[in-house]
């Protein structure tokens, strides 16, 4: 009984520590450093646009490059651009990344690097992939 409780407590702590490693505000390297907030959304982690230099100039920007014409009126501020599930420690593999710059959605993965930064990868088809390194922002 005690072993079961210790195991359950360890599992809960490990899950929480894993969640905390991805949760937070992250700066992208493009467009003067956009900000993306990553948080758990059900069984996945989701990333939404919080800020960018272009959004500060025009907060009402729309998703005009989306390949789906019906979605082109969505506001970029608050737009979900990442959704991924954990498949192993420090990695989110089962997901997608949306790029509002070209309007396409890619197979996505996120890896927490040893230095605390994130490697965000989007692939049209493997090996046609692009990586970005995101840096955590203190809130």
pTM confidence score: 0.81
Are 116 and 138 in contact by the 8 Å Cβ rule? The answer is: no
Report the run of H or E that residue 56 belongs to, with start and end: helix 53-57
Q: Is the pLDDT of residue 63 over 90?
A: yes
pLDDT in tens, 6-62: 333 333 333 334 445 899 999 999 777 899 999 999 999 999 999 998 899 999 999
Which tokens go with 42? 């059900």
Predicted confidence at residue 12, as pLDDT, reads: 34
- Domain spans, the chain: 2-137
Are 65 and 102 in contact by the 8 Å Cβ rule? The answer is: yes
Which tokens go with 66? 């989306």
Any residues with CB less than 8 A from the CB of 86 and at least 6 apart, and which? 18, 45, 92, 93
Nearest Cα to Cα of residue 49 among 104, 118, 102, 97: 97
Nearest Cα to Cα of residue 22 among 79, 68, 88: 88
Predicted confidence at residue 30, as pLDDT, reads: 79
Predicted confidence at residue 16, as pLDDT, reads: 39
- Higher-confidence residue of 82 and 31: namely 82
Predicted confidence at residue 21, as pLDDT, reads: 85
Judge: domain 2-137, CATH 3.30.2010.10.
Answer: no
Nearest Cα to Cα of residue 132 among 110, 115, 114, 116: 110
Predicted confidence at residue 20, as pLDDT, reads: 55
- Quick count: other Cβ atoms within 10 Å of Cβ 95? 21
Predicted confidence at residue 136, as pLDDT, reads: 95
């Amino acid at each position: 009984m005690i072993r079961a409780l210790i195991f359950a407590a360890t599992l809960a702590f490990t899950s929480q520590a894993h969640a905390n490693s991805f949760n937070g505000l992250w700066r992208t390297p493009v467009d003067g450093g956009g900000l993306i907030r990553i948080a758990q959304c059900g069984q996945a982690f989701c990333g939404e646009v919080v800020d960018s230099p272009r959004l500060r100039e025009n907060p009402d920007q729309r998703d005009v490059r989306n390949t789906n014409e019906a979605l082109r009126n969505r506001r970029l501020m608050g737009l979900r651009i990442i959704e991924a599930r954990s498949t192993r420690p420090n990695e989110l593999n089962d997901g997608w990344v949306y790029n509002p710059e070209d309007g396409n959605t890619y197979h996505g993965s996120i890896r927490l690097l040893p230095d605390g930064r994130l490697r965000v990868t989007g692939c049209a088809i493997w090996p046609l992939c692009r990586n970005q390194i995101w840096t955590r922002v203190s809130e």
